[in-house]
A and B are shown apart, each in its own frame.
Chain A
Amino acid sequence: MGVAVSTVLAAGVISYRALVVSIESRQQVRHTHEVLERLEDVRLSVAKIEANYRAFALTGEESYLQAYRASVLRVAEGEAAVRGLTTDNPTQQRMLPLLEEVTEREIQMASLVNDRRRVGGLGAAVDAMAKGPAQPTIDELQTVVQGLEQEEMRLLAQRNADYKRRVTEVKFFLVLRTFLALAIVMAAGWSVERESGRREKAEAALLDCEGRYRASVERLQESASSGSGAKSHVPREDAERQLARMEGRYRGLLEAAPDAMVVVNSNGQIVLLNLQTEKQFGYRRDELLWQKVTTIVPNGFAERLVADGLRSAEEALAQKIGTGIELTGRRKNGSVFPIEIMLSPLGSPDGVLVTAAIRDITARVAAEADLLQKVEELNRSNEELAQFAYIASHDLQEPLRMVASYTQLLSRQYKGRLDADADEFIAYAVDGASRMQRLIQDLLLYSRVGTKGRDLLDTASETTLKHALLNLRGAIEESGALVTHDPLPTVRADELQLTQLFQNLIGNAIKYQNPGIPRVHVSAHRDGGEKWMFSVQDNGLGIDSKYFERIFGMFQRLHKREEFDGTGIGLAICKKIVERHGGAISVESQVGRGSTFTFGLAASQATP
């Protein structure tokens, strides 16, 4: 923390000085331009004086006289301005009196000619002109002005050179500052990530630090330009000592980083690397420095990052920040291994530097591949099982049909015609065969829940319930049952299977009854999340709690065949249907009072 703050402070100092330097230089250039402009102005005005007094001499026209007077004023202004602008330059100041003297001479001449013209007419004016040194004055003026201009340019060049020198100094420190700051943050970030596995923290820290750095610089810039005075007058030597100390610290951290770290320049060359890089790739440091990064990362690194003609490196990098890229690393001995790299851009005046942290992910890749394979095997095995169940039940039906049909024919044809034993034997055979037929049909039904299931669509469960009740109307009428329901919602379901589900549950409710009128009630409530919980409540025989789990098993029956008909697969089918819909089914019950079956279905996306 302290390190980061002092980094920012030191950086602030440096950038403030850079700012001051650049402001000064701009002012220099402006100054020079102004001086040159003014000199030019003076020269032009003198030329105009010349032209105007001659024209007046010739024509006697008032307008020329007026123009002459205006030019005289401009000359005076110009000279005063130049004097003001060059007060700090002795050489210029020495040359100025010369300028003034020459222009004065010119004006004197002009004045004389004008007077003569007014008084004595054209002849007198011409006379006066012939006596004076007109041409040489103009040449002399030219020479003086040029002298002043040259001096000004020389001054500018000198100031420029000075500026460049100071800026280079500042630039160097700036780059070092930024790189080391980022390197330390990245190293810290990766070691944090290694321990806590949170890469995001490092990124945030980097951006945060960058943000604070930028904010500090901005604040300093503002205060500098508003002229409220520098905030810190840190002497130059102190800052340099601090920098040297911090540099030492940063280098130490970089070397200690657990991952390989390299810095790549815009030519794709490695300009910095750490110990881990040497270890992971099997090179000595001097073998890798200034080599192309493609030596250790053959593909995928350089192409995207070096500024291509289509976009700047900054943009290309911006896309990569915070994401690890999976590539292949190559060791000195030629062997390759999978790596993950994380990039950080580093702007510098000479181009973009890229810092990359490289991690060996061989173990991770192997684990992922293993997992994928296991999942595939599992899927394949599941499918085989489903197919097997279907084929088995289907192919078992044929021979069973023969057995069942013929035992029934036997029974029909020979009942009472053979002895009593034969009748009994045949009866058991017939019974067994028909039971087996029903079992196989139920098994087929069960396996079809998976194989013939349709997509889950928005279904009005109330309508589905009504279909189920229609299918059960025989049983309902026979038992005199009363089936009621609350308004029921729209859910995501396979309509056919939902009908089956309702039919099984309500059919059971009616079947396993006490004497009296069976009552069944169907309701639904939201579970507070994405599901609707349905309840089918009856006043029937009830179920002993120790059977709550068992009844959902395949072919599980709690009653003798003579008491109640059925193969015991109904609830297993219900469970499979509900689970296919992503829910679960359970029962609450009291023996003699009744049971409530509850199951969950996903709510429709459309309705709230």
Chain B
Amino acid sequence: MSDGGSSGPPLQVLLVEDSLGDVRLTREAFREANMSIGLHVAADGVEAMAFLRRQGANQHAPRPDLILLDLNLPKMDGREVLGRIKEDEDLRTIPTVILTTSDAEADIVRSYQLQANCFLSKPVQLDAFETLVRSMSDFWLTMVKLPQQRHAR
């Protein structure tokens, strides 16, 4: 299935999530939504930054078109990752969507203060979660205009 966007290569999504169960669920949800994307996973904030900065083993990592970021991560917490991404002149143009279990007002406010592009709270029920992932990827990956990327090669 095509990605519905441009006719170029499939869109790349970086998912920063430490729960394997959640990772698989998200993958299944994308599949349900008929979105064919390149899904990359970082299990904590350190891995995420390494991927984005193409450090070490990530030399040939693609630049993601969308970042899905959980807040509660080991080592480097999601809020810190968000802060670093948005401070970096090069990385800040990548839409960063917070996808987390929390719905606490404090978390929402903090995320927007750190310039998250939007905040999504994971629904408890499977079908609701699937609907959310479909809507979100529809919006950010097909409707929204993304800046022209300079690809690594």
Contact = CB atoms under 8 A, between A and B. Distances in A.
How many chain A residues sit at the interface, stated as a range, is 10 to 19
A401 B126 CA distance: 8
B106 interface: no
Interface in A394-445: 397-398, 400-402, 404-406, 408-409, 434, 437, 441
A401 B124 contact: yes
B126 A402 contact: no
Contact of B126 (A397, A408, A441): A408
A297 to B, nearest CB: 54
Contacts of B129: 405
Interface string B65-109: 000000000000000000000000000000000000100000000
A398 B102 CA distance: 10
Nearest to B22: A402
B28 A409 contact: yes
A442 to B, nearest CB: 12
Contacts of A437: 124-125
B21 A397 contact: no
Contacts of B122: 401
Interface string A370-414: 000000000000000000000000000110111011101100000
B126 A409 contact: yes
Nearest to A400: B124
A180 B127 CA distance: 91
A404 B126 contact: yes
B25 A405 contact: yes
B123 to A, nearest CB: 9
B125 to A, nearest CB: 7
Given A406-B21, A409-B28, A398 B126 contact: no
Nearest to A441: B124
Nearest to A402: B21
A406 B124 CA distance: 12
Nearest to B28: A409
Contacts of A406: 21, 25
Nearest to A397: B124
A458 to B, nearest CB: 26
B23 to A, nearest CB: 12
A40 B129 CA distance: 121
A437 to B, nearest CB: 6
Given A404-B124, A406-B25, A409-B28, 11 more contacts: A397-B124, A400-B124, A401-B101, A401-B122, A401-B124, A404-B125, A404-B126, A406-B21, A408-B127, A437-B124, A437-B125
22 contacts: A397-B101, A397-B124, A398-B101, A400-B124, A401-B122, A401-B124, A402-B21, A404-B124, A404-B125, A405-B25, A405-B126, A405-B129, A406-B21, A408-B126, A408-B127, A409-B25, A409-B28, A409-B126, A434-B125, A437-B124, A437-B125, A441-B124
Interface of A: 397-398, 400-402, 404-406, 408-409, 434, 437, 441
